[in-house]
Structure 1
Amino acid sequence: MGWQTLELRIEQSLATITLNRPKALNAINLAMVGELEQVVRQVRDDPDVRVVVITGAGEKAFAAGADITEFKAMSPIDAWMFVQRLQRLFLEIERLPKPVIAAVNGYALGGGCELMMACDIAYAADTAMIGQPEINLGIIPGAGGTQRLARLIGKQRAKALVLTGEMIGAQEAWGLGLLNKVVPADHLMVEVRKLAGKLAGNAPVAVKAAKEAIEDGYDMALERALAHEAQLFALCFATEDKTEGVNAFLEKRPPMFKGK
């Protein structure tokens, strides 16, 4: 399928989604939202894909936010419908049963920062800039920027970033807990692919269960979350991959997981 605002490349078990509006700093417009909805479902349903990477085209931006030119004509109802759609999309990314890596190659602002936070792991170039600058437009973040940000770095730090609208560098973002790793810009995709290869070698059912345990359990009371974890732990024991993993360990060989 021909995409207008993004590119999808599938190599063996790795799917790379590239936001492809470099002249607009990969700003997220309505067309991109529609195409992302389709491509996210495509990689979700592809049994050969075990890891997903999201990055931006060019060297300047991962995604510099929503396309502000589309905001000008939006009514409050239009804005509410748009941001709810964006929230659903980012939730779908967050809940993919496969690891999702953000390869932040430049500006990750507004909706771009919100997309980054919906991913499981975020690697960034040392030149990347992160922020939620919506306050400078007289609005607030609407696709997770007030919610995921506070959950990731705490309320006080989140309020400072949102209320000032300031951008921060990759190293500072790493120090706050927004990024997992900062690497030289020309090594970003090398490091991301190295991580993707490691994740792709893990048992798919266990990966899905681990994501579910962490995501669902985070907002549960501890006792209930532990019970949920125990159920998922036991579920893994019903898989062929568990048998393969244990046998491989005892036989001192690499496991060959099949996702069963």
Structure 2
Amino acid sequence: MAPVQFQRRGHVADVRLNRPAALNAIDDAMDRALADAWDRIDEDPDIWVAVLSGNGDRAFCAGGDMNAPPTGHGGLSFGGGLTGIGGRLRRLRKPLLCAVHGHVLGLGFELAMCADIIIAADDAVFRLPEAKVGVIDHCGVVHRAIRQLPHHVAMAMIVAGVPLTAADALRFGLVNACLPRAEWADGVQQWIDKLLACAPLVSQAARQAALEGLEHPLGEALARSYPLIAAYRQSDDRLEAERAWAERRPPRWSGR
């Protein structure tokens, strides 16, 4: 059974963690499969949105597999290199939506925090189990948690293993929506539709500028140039935006 299911439907790439019997814990095979998925997504201009989720009823992802942990092969980080743990930071070019449910632990929590948008089922619970189980390695998850959550909320998770419910994650701004499990799939699709309605090259360019700009003081971020913004000026979609505006109609994006 493939550790990651990859399916393209229209302009959407569905990436599903597929070890439900192991609560989708990430082993080396899943790590490699995720790395392949990110490459396929970035290399295909007809993929505009990526959606990451997990199969099974109990968990999005229970973290790294303690019995067969990922090794960060080929200089990549765990989780296919997306997270920057123990290797280079691999930044996805396309917008990434993560749909989480059930257990969201450790490395699985970090994978979720790599997304641009997180849609949580109301049974999702986020945890950093490292302190309670006595395991720590590069622990990139703590660097994301302390940046994406209020300081003392993150520290309670980091040093005391305090869980975070989906409702509290919404209250603290970690997730974009918290939905009843019965409404969750429809809610995820509604967010996908919102992303697909946008100019894909603009979303990619703005995403690049926003994330790279965070690495610099505001003045420097404002003064920098961003390659995807520059490339968009020569695109078919920029011309389509002008035509649609002049003709008072919805634009028809091509991603070119």
Q: What TM-score, normalized to structure 2?
A: 0.89
Name which of 55, 63, 66 aligns with 1:68: 66
- Superposed CA deviations along residues 117-150 of structure 1, whole A, max 9, x for unmatched, are 0111100000111111111121236352111111
Separation of aligned partners in 2, 1:231 and 1:79: 32
Match of 1:139 in 2: 135
By how many angstroms is 1:93 displaced? Answer: 8.9
Change (3 A) 1:232 1:141: same
User: Structure 2: where are the runs of 5+ without partners?
Assistant: none
Aligned with 1:68: secondary structure?
A: coil
Name which of 154, 160, 163 aligns with 1:158: 154
Moved more, 190-199 or 225-234: 225-234
Change (3 A) 1:16 1:143: farther
Match of 1:205 in 2: 201
Asked if 1:27 corresponds to 2:25, the answer is yes
By how many angstroms is 1:201 displaced? Answer: 2.9
- Superposed CA deviations along residues 171-198 of structure 1, whole A, max 9, x for unmatched, are 0111122111111112222111221122
Q: Confirm or deny: 8 A CA contact 2:82 2:114 kept in the other structure.
A: no
Match of 1:251 in 2: 247
Match of 1:175 in 2: 171
Matched to 2:83, the amino acid is F
By how many angstroms is 1:82 displaced? Answer: 10
Aligned with 2:7: secondary structure?
A: strand
Change (3 A) 1:132 1:198: same
Matched to 1:65, the amino acid is G
Change (3 A) 1:157 1:229: farther
Asked if 1:90 corresponds to 2:83, the answer is yes
Change (3 A) 1:199 1:60: same
Q: Confirm or deny: 8 A CA contact 1:83 1:142 kept in the other structure.
A: no
* Number of residue pairs aligned between Structure 1 and Structure 2: 252
Matched to 2:148, the amino acid is L
Q: In proportion to residue count, which structure has more helix?
A: 1
By how many angstroms is 1:249 displaced? Answer: 2.5
Name which of 38, 42, 45 aligns with 1:44: 42
Root mean square deviation of aligned Cα: 2.5
Aligned with 1:190: secondary structure?
A: helix
Separation of aligned partners in 1, 2:112 and 2:149: 14
Aligned with 2:97: secondary structure?
A: strand
Separation of aligned partners in 1, 2:129 and 2:16: 23
Separation of aligned partners in 1, 2:12 and 2:109: 23
Match of 1:74 in 2: none
Moved more, 175-184 or 137-146: 137-146
By how many angstroms is 1:20 displaced? Answer: 0.8
Separation of aligned partners in 2, 1:4 and 1:50: 24
Separation of aligned partners in 1, 2:102 and 2:128: 14
By how many angstroms is 1:205 displaced? Answer: 1.9
Separation of aligned partners in 1, 2:226 and 2:2: 44
Match of 1:218 in 2: 214
Matched to 2:18, the amino acid is N
Separation of aligned partners in 1, 2:11 and 2:106: 30
Q: Confirm or deny: 8 A CA contact 1:126 1:184 kept in the other structure.
A: yes
Moved more, 24-33 or 248-257: 248-257
By how many angstroms is 1:112 displaced? Answer: 0.6
Matched to 2:255, the amino acid is G
Q: What TM-score, normalized to structure 1?
A: 0.87
Q: Confirm or deny: 8 A CA contact 1:65 1:112 kept in the other structure.
A: yes
Separation of aligned partners in 2, 1:143 and 1:4: 27
